[in-house]
């Protein structure tokens, strides 16, 4: 297992300033492991709420948790949602000597319960799978093919990695979604998820997917929001500005983990991915996800007009706008669309991320940037 220093630092800051910290992320992304790394060497009381023994210990939760000191970790808290009201009471006690760290995979449940019961008392920390800061930039191809879930990335072979991802998808559909209280048949959600894999990197069209599945627009929109809320899908929203141009208003849809995408498309290794028609879209989604994890902008958008001008990623940093364009090409060229984006959006700088080895300027405000140097890009932005 890799060290995760950036996430540990973020977690330490949150725990030090908030009585309750919620560590959120998809199942199997490493939340429990990170919490154990963080708690090593300090006084900690640990409750796994999927364990009958630990649930028995919490028969009188206000008494048990009220006596605790130091760090208290409540893992899989969505299994015992009545604890949220208890935590609110304990967080308001000025004499409390405890800090609470709650972990959970079912983020819609956690966020709703925390928002209702713990407003002003909880800080949210989001954990994803591995990124290039953790795997090392030279491992970008393996990270792209296998995805960032620790067991998928660290598997002994591509075949073992694909087998783990297939098992993850099956468990997610058959166990995790029903645990959220959602009665969607697993085959229907599998079909929808696979269709999203084929729409990866495209504009969302509820009507088109609804017709293909024989469902209503509202139903497929609900499916999409569910997968978004549990960190499986990213809806990248469009940037709107009064430019006198007709701009695209539908979000773009990406599966957040490239390994899950490749599992749904049955792409077990680099050679099968490189020959697949979705390789360019897969590359675009992978790079966008890595940029968002490494740079961590507050907000991010894409931009596109009906006339064909577009930008894959737009974000603001210290009051200035920056752009990212993704190219799956060893020798990318600047297109007219990038010049339009520079001018119309007033970008401070635009980076074209590509799979080659060299960084070089292509324009006074455009730089060709290798994916293997994204960490250096974060340092350059400061």
Q: So what's the pLDDT on residue 174?
A: 87
CATH code, domain with 227: 1.10.10.10
Distance CA 80, CA 28 (A): 20
Distance CA 217, CA 224 (A): 11
Shared domain for 370 and 226, answered yes or no, is yes
Pair 295, 377: CB distance under 8 Å: yes
For 118, counting Cβ atoms within 10 Å of its Cβ (0-12 exposed, 13-18 middle, 19+ buried), the class is buried
Q: What DSSP line would sit under 91-160, residue for residue?
A: HT-TT--EEEEEEES-HHHHHHHHHHH-TTTEEEEE--S--HHHH-GGGHHHHHHH-S-HHHHT-SSHHH
Shared domain for 354 and 242, answered yes or no, is yes
Shared domain for 168 and 69, answered yes or no, is no
Strand partners, 73: 46, 101
Distance CA 22, CA 32 (A): 12
Pair 289, 144: CB distance under 8 Å: no
Distance CA 13, CA 23 (A): 13
Shared domain for 22 and 117, answered yes or no, is yes
Q: So what's the pLDDT on residue 3?
A: 79
Q: How far is CA 251 from CA 39, 80, 246, 353, in A?
A: 39, 35, 15, 21
Decide: helix, strand or coil at residue 165: helix
Which of 145, 121, 146 lies closest to 14 in space, CA to CA?
121
Distance CA 196, CA 233 (A): 9
Which tokens sit at 346?
């007033």
Shared domain for 204 and 332, answered yes or no, is yes
Distance CA 379, CA 382 (A): 5
Which of 64, 96, 126 terminates a domain? The answer is 126
Decide: helix, strand or coil at residue 325: strand
Q: So what's the pLDDT on residue 1?
A: 61
Task: For helices 206-213 and 186-199, give the axis angle rounded to 10 degrees.
Answer: 140
Shared domain for 161 and 109, answered yes or no, is no
Q: How far does CA 91 lie from the centroid of its chain? A: 29
Domain that holds residue 90: 5-126
| End-to-end CA, the chain | 28
* Beta-carbon count within 10 A of 170 CB: 12
Check residue 349 and give left, alpha or beta (phi > 0: left; psi -120 to 50: alpha).
beta
Which of 189, 171, 163 lies closest to 263 in space, CA to CA?
163
Count of residues in the chain: 382
Shared domain for 331 and 206, answered yes or no, is yes
pLDDT less than 70: residues of the chain: 1, 106-110, 113, 180-181, 242-245
Domain count, the chain: 2
Q: So what's the pLDDT on residue 109?
A: 64
Q: So what's the pLDDT on residue 186?
A: 85
Distance CA 10, CA 33 (A): 15
Q: How far is CA 109 from CA 88, 103, 214, 273, 334, in A?
A: 16, 12, 28, 35, 45
Q: So what's the pLDDT on residue 119?
A: 80
Helix, strand, coil % over all residues of the chain, rounded to 5: 50, 20, 30
Shared domain for 154 and 67, answered yes or no, is no
CATH code, domain with 65: 3.40.50.300
Shared domain for 157 and 82, answered yes or no, is no
Shared domain for 178 and 102, answered yes or no, is no
Shared domain for 273 and 366, answered yes or no, is yes
Output the pTM of the full model. 0.92
Q: So what's the pLDDT on residue 206?
A: 92
Distance CA 2, CA 153 (A): 11
Q: So what's the pLDDT on residue 95?
A: 76
Decide: helix, strand or coil at residue 44: strand
């Amino acid at each position: 297992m890799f060290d995760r220093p950036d996430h540990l630092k973020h977690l330490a800051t949150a725990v030090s300033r908030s009585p309750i910290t919620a560590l959120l992320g998809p199942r199997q992304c490493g939340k429990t492991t990170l919490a154990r790394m963080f708690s090593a060497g300090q006084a900690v009381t640990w409750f796994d709420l999927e364990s009958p023994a630990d649930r028995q210990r919490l028969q009188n939760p206000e008494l048990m948790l009220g006596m605790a000191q130091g760090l208290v970790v409540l893992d899989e808290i969505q299994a015992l949602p009545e604890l949220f009201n208890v935590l609110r009471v304990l967080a308001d006690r000025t004499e409390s000597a405890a800090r609470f760290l709650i972990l959970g995979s079912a983020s819609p449940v956690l966020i709703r319960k925390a928002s209702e019961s713990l407003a002003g008392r909880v800080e949210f920390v989001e954990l994803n799978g591995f990124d290039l800061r953790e795997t090392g930039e030279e491992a970008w191809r393996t990270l792209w093919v296998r995805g960032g879930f620790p067991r998928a990335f660290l598997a002994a072979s591509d075949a073992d990695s694909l087998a783990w991802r297939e098992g993850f998808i099956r468990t997610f559909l058959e166990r995790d979604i029903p645990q959220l209280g959602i009665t969607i048949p697993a085959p229907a959600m599998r079909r929808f998820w696979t269709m999203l894999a084929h729409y990866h990197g495209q504009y969302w069209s509820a009507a088109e997917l609804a017709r293909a599945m024989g469902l209503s627009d509202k139903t497929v929109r609900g499916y999409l929001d569910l997968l978004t809320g549990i960190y499986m899908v990213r809806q990248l929203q469009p940037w709107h500005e009064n430019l006198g141009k007709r701009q695209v208003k539908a979000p773009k849809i990406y599966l957040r983990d490239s390994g899950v995408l490749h599992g749904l498309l049955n792409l077990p290794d680099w050679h099968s991915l490189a020959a697949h028609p979705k390789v360019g879209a897969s590359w675009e989604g992978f790079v966008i996800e890595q940029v968002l994890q490494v740079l961590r902008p507050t907000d991010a958008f894409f931009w596109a007009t009906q006339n064909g001008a577009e930008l894959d990623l737009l974000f603001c940093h210290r009051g200035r706008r920056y752009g990212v364009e993704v190219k799956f090409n060893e020798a990318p060229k600047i297109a007219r669309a990038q010049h339009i984006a520079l001018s119309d959006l007033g970008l401070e700088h635009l980076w074209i991320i590509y799979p080659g080895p060299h960084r070089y300027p292509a324009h006074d405000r455009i730089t060709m940037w290798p994916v293997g140097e994204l960490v250096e890009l974060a340092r350059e932005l400061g």
